[in-house]
Copies of this chain bind each other. A is one copy, B any other.
């Protein structure tokens, strides 16, 4: 019954399956039933301790690890590995009752109370001291337990409190600014303090961006987002350093939340040993399969080359939407394979056993309220059994067809107020550019705009509003060396201090565009403009119109309606050895597909609603096929190869049932 996963290694030799386990919510007799049922379900990993602080330290400085050791012993005796969590995401009531100053404060000055979770200010030295003490004790007491394979630090950093505005935070912000800028004058310059008479004599005069009579300084807001990200990351690295000191070699992670704005996961991924993510697609949203693919592409991308795991998903429903649609039969399984298709090596759930009490009792679990009679239980045990046949997948990796330039500072800056249009939002722009890839079954990496982009056949750049000189250099080099880039409007507008590049929009990327963006004219929600393409086609566009003066580029399309009719809308520009397509407006999705598909170099087409992803391991390929429609779909495939899930040999067509999945393993003809 011993686990085959060697302590200290990553990835594991099998696919992880299991989830959060909160034994403190149940009496010990239930623990025994839990382990029995976990075994029945094929569960091989349990995450414990996530919200256990008030049970591990029931009073300040009084610790009780016995019950948790007993749980670990039980799991270990059944060969179930453990991700040991630090409980710092929810301090006990005794901490905030005796130190109310640890509670976070909103921009309007409201101090939160305890009674839910994440009720701490990350800058509070009192919180930090207590958090590190429980982490240290936990590591020393249980870090060397033979069941433990992973450190899971904290939980969903910053999810409810993206920023704290208390006086302690204000002081920390000033220190951060002193470190960043050195002098008040450098701060004044970076923040454009000459505007609205905001010149600071001394850092001591600076405040967090609390509520103000009107628009607060945008550079101040941007720096506050950087500062908060840094503060949470410092809390993470403090915990990490502490557990690494006690249990060297044990991999450390925390659970990401996909496209989560407050934290720059490129930075975070670099600080941990592997990535995890929590994914809760809305079954009522038809875009969910695409959004999940985009989410998983991001997680794979932030720590390239290292397999990752789903840390949380749900079997049926969540509890925090206004109306929480249930996954239809088969959806949980199919969604799980979506993760495996994009290099995941683990499928974990929140949570093992549905709670009887508390705010998440109606969040579905592996083991529902109605027990093993529930339909979900049959799906859980079925998937568990299936996964045990697939360990070979862990050695293969996705190869991507395109790169999408993405940066958190740009996201933060793009969505600050006082813009030409509040409709230009990061996720909306990403979805717009990702959809043609999704429809063409082309997997994409998300890349930092300042990383080495060579090797990607195609680069997409959606509204890279905040652009550093280094990023511009990197993108220019990519094109100059022969790359193809599709750049959208509202790219290259401001520098890292959110100050406008003068002399025509685009800034240091301006010469790539093939024309001069002289001004911008947002469209109202619902408003469209017609485009006339040079090849005679017509299409429509929304959201935005660049006002472009033609230049060295070729005009692919012009506005054909509205006050700017006749002005260029889409340019193509040979630049160096490469080429740039510049989009001055938001093309409709059909026009996007027509534009992008030819740039992808012969991806075989898939029927609408079917997802195809390729993973390779040396000469072996794994073709994942997933049917996201509600009807059976015949999918053309290359003959040869075996469906790992059915053992049948692939013919010219594969019939995928609704929510059906196939994984066709192919080896080179020998």
A interface with B by C-beta (< 8 Å): 22, 24-25, 51-55, 58-59, 87, 90-94, 97, 104, 108-119, 159-161, 191-201, 204-207, 209-220, 284, 316-317, 319-320, 322-326, 328-329, 354-362, 364, 368-371, 373-376, 417-423, 497-500, 502-505, 516-525, 527, 547, 549, 562-564
Contact = CB atoms under 8 A, between A and B. Distances in A.
B324 A192 contact: no
A540 B473 CA distance: 61
* Residue in A323, A368, A503 with the greatest tally of chain B CB atoms within 10 Å: A323
A524 B109 contact: no
Given A93-B201, A192-B355, A505-B369, A217 B326 contact: no
Nearest to A543: B323
Given A59-B201, A374-B519, 6 more contacts: A54-B198, A93-B205, A109-B111, A113-B211, A326-B547, A369-B519
A420 B196 contact: no
Nearest to A208: B113
16 contacts: A25-B192, A51-B195, A51-B197, A93-B199, A110-B211, A115-B209, A119-B213, A195-B355, A195-B359, A196-B358, A215-B360, A216-B359, A328-B563, A357-B498, A369-B500, A370-B505
A110 B113 contact: no
Contacts of A24: 194
Nearest to A91: B197
Nearest to A416: B359
* Residue in A108, A191, A199, A355 with the greatest tally of chain B CB atoms within 10 Å: A199
A213 B118 contact: yes
A359 B497 contact: no
A510 to B, nearest CB: 10
Contacts of A204: 97
A500 B361 contact: yes
Nearest to A321: B422
A497 B516 CA distance: 61
Contact of A217 (B209, B358, B364, B368): B358
A113 B109 CA distance: 10
Given A93-B199, A418-B319, A117 B518 contact: no
B419 A524 contact: no
A357 B191 contact: yes
Given A117-B214, A370-B516, A502-B371, A54 B420 contact: no
B195 A25 contact: yes
Nearest to A522: B323
Contacts of A562: 328
A520 B362 CA distance: 10
A423 to B, nearest CB: 6
Contacts of A563: 328-329
B519 A323 contact: no
